[in-house]
A = this chain, B = another copy of it.
């Protein structure tokens, strides 16, 4: 037998990929089980219901976000690498299987999502907005950015833009993503080299 969490991790990896590629209603336990070469019930062993799977995925995203941003949130630092990191992350996710934002995918099915999943989604979004707001505030204070309006509104807008852009890029290709990055940089007064 493999280590404690080997299969479980593989399930989550594949589920994350499928969520981003086909949406929450667009994949089934069978898609995962056939890919891993196990039976359907093996998935149910690790994640009794699809809700449990969704919760595990969202919690993992939340953890990743915290790990990636905690240093900046605690001690501050240069804002530009934070922003460029977001662009790079977005781009790499898209290039790896034309993946859209998992929360974009979840928002489509939002109305028939169980309440706990909605709550977790809401919390993730709040954290994202808080982080980006801070990045924008710090960046403006340090003269790295130069934009008009409220940092928190600007943060909401940028996150919405990236979520939409990843979806549009599926239809119109990666250029869409590059155009949007370029335009955000322009609007923030970042060097576009």
Interface residues of A in 157-178 (CB under 8 A from B): 157, 159-165, 167-168, 170-172, 176
- B-side contacts of A37, CB under 8 Å: none
Beta-carbon contact of A111 and B179 below 8 Å:
no
A86 near B: Cβ within 8 Å?
no
Copy total for this chain: 2
Indicate whether A122 sits within 8 Å of B172 (C-beta atoms), given known contacts A26-B112, A163-B167: yes
Beta-carbon contact of B163 and A180 below 8 Å:
no
Partner of A161 from B104, B164, B172 at Cβ < 8 Å: B164
Question: A residues near B, CB below 8 A?
Answer: 21-23, 25-26, 98, 100, 103-105, 107-112, 118, 121-122, 125-126, 147-150, 152-154, 156-157, 159-165, 167-168, 170-172, 176, 179-180, 182-184, 186-187
